[in-house]
Amino acid sequence: MEPAAAPRGLGAAFARILDSAENASPVEAVTRGLGALLGASRVSLLIADLSGRALVRLVHDVPDAAGDVATEVLPFDGGPGEETLRTQTVRVLAPDEALPGSPTGQWTVLAPVTERGEALGLLEMSLPDEPGPAVLAEISRTAHLLGFVVIANRRHTDLFEWGQRSTRFSLPAEIQRRLLPASFTCEAGSFTLSAWLEPAATIGGDTFDYSLDREALHLSLTDAMGHGVASALIATLCVGSLRNTRRQGATLPEQALAANRALLDQGREHEPIFATGLLGRMDLETGALALVNAGHQMPYLLRGDEVASVALPPGLPLGLFAEATYPVADLKLEPGDRLVFVTDGMLERDAAGIDLETEIRNSGHLHPRETTRRLADKVLELAGSALQDDATMLVLDWHGHHGRDRDTVAGAGLTQAGGAGG
């Protein structure tokens, strides 16, 4: 039997990248292999920092693959790195325009590394000559593939998590981080979702979660009492219960009742504990959204140019009363609607100076990923960097037309791609 012919062209490049990802250390899969394939003098992965306000460069020089991984923090300054991430478009920088720390006398290509709308960072390649359209198209496709390589490899290493952290995490922050979904953004043909958590100085127990299945989108936003490790542990119990029952196919009231019992049982052994929350399930075919409010701040609906608070039955917080009930409210979304969930850290103390309805209206043209960043920046602008309480938000855009393909390039939706974020 004749051996299979060696793959050629783009297929061959992808095959070599995947082989490199399997055989090399995680960072070598990201840098050395790509540099050799595309003739780059240096390849860097610029990881989006967990603060949402910087890129962190992970770099290996080519062909020296034996050196240690270098890291450099590049704060957002409105320059080409930030602009590329915001707009999700490939950029070519002439030798005199390179980012700080890039090789001199080289052309630089910046390509978004994105998977289903989650902006993981940028692929930065230093090339001796100006790249043509064919090379740029290959770099763009390679950067998209790199997103999947990063996601696969971060299961086996702390490297990428370490690279995302320009500041140290406290123990409560570490626990809270583990409760959040692996991706803060999710794009589908019928919706776009993005969430963000701006932590308090002492961690306030906020969480958000979502899960996409064939016919429905499940989501939640919770706020556990207290601060520090105690609050993080209450949040762990609450989120763990909600995920457990959701994965068993429980209804929204059943999920809330189970979490209520879990917190009550734990509180009886020690002292009363509670959490507030919003639970939701959206039918992807119709846009019908079922919501349960467990003593939480009401969400906001942006429809056209009008913003209004959504009135929901005021259910009790989770963990306070055994006889609590959790009624379901139904909200029918229309294509073009935006729903914004927030925790009370967005509204109290110094952050209360934000005109939240106006900010939601003024950022309606932005991708949800950019809207959450803009709202978080407003909170920090008014309240300072040491927040008294976590400020968390989840933005859901409903497009309608379930089953249609996304309009994408290299992992990013083209609709509301971003811009500078304003």
CATH assignment of the domain containing 186: 3.60.40.10
Number of domains in the chain: 2
Determine, yes or no, domain membership for 354.
yes
Determine, yes or no, domain membership for 421.
no
Determine, yes or no, domain membership for 419.
no
Do strands 300-303 and 338-342 pair parallel, antiparallel, or not at all (unpaired)? antiparallel
Residue 354 has pLDDT above 90, yes or no: no
User: What local confidence, expressed as pLDDT, does residue 23 receive?
Assistant: 64
Q: Which of 131, 163, 195 is the last residue of a domain?
A: 163
Task: Show the CA angle centred on residue 181, arms to residues 178 and 185, nearest 5°.
Answer: 140
Determine, yes or no, domain membership for 3.
no
Determine, yes or no, domain membership for 420.
no
Q: Which of 344, 359, 373 is nearest to 200 (CA)?
A: 344
User: What local confidence, expressed as pLDDT, does residue 370 receive?
Assistant: 92
Determine, yes or no, domain membership for 126.
yes
- Whether residues 375 and 239 share a domain: the answer is yes
Q: How many CB atoms lie within 10 A of CB 239?
A: 23
Question: pTM of the predicted model, to two decimals?
Answer: 0.86
- Whether residues 105 and 217 share a domain: the answer is no
Residue 237 has pLDDT above 90, yes or no: yes
CB 338 within 8 A of CB 364: yes
| CATH assignment at residue 62 | 3.30.450.40
User: What local confidence, expressed as pLDDT, does residue 407 receive?
Assistant: 64
For 246-288, how does the pLDDT look when each residue is reduced to its tens digit (9 = 90+)?
A: 999 999 999 999 999 999 999 877 788 999 999 999 999 999 9
- Whether residues 157 and 180 share a domain: the answer is no
User: What local confidence, expressed as pLDDT, does residue 383 receive?
Assistant: 77
- Whether residues 316 and 188 share a domain: the answer is yes
3-state secondary structure of 400: coil
- Whether residues 230 and 126 share a domain: the answer is no
Q: Which of 132, 163, 194 is the last residue of a domain?
A: 163
- Whether residues 159 and 175 share a domain: the answer is no
Determine, yes or no, domain membership for 103.
yes
Secondary structure (DSSP) of 48-67: EPTTSSEEEEEEEESS--SS
Q: Which residue has the tokens 């009231």?
A: 253
DSSP 131: -
Q: Which of 128, 163, 198 is the last residue of a domain?
A: 163
- Whether residues 272 and 391 share a domain: the answer is yes
Determine, yes or no, domain membership for 219.
yes
Determine what percent of the chain is predicted with pLDDT higher than 70: 82
CB 29 within 8 A of CB 58: no
CB 138 within 8 A of CB 39: no
Residue 359 has pLDDT above 80, yes or no: yes
CB 30 within 8 A of CB 150: yes
- Whether residues 120 and 192 share a domain: the answer is no
- Structural domain of residue 198, as residue ranges? 171-413
- Whether residues 233 and 296 share a domain: the answer is yes
- Whether residues 99 and 207 share a domain: the answer is no
- Whether residues 175 and 137 share a domain: the answer is no
- Whether residues 153 and 302 share a domain: the answer is no
Residue 293 has pLDDT above 60, yes or no: yes
For 8-50, how does the pLDDT look when each residue is reduced to its tens digit (9 = 90+)?
A: 455 666 666 666 666 655 556 555 666 666 778 888 889 998 8
Determine what percent of the chain is predicted with pLDDT higher than 90: 53
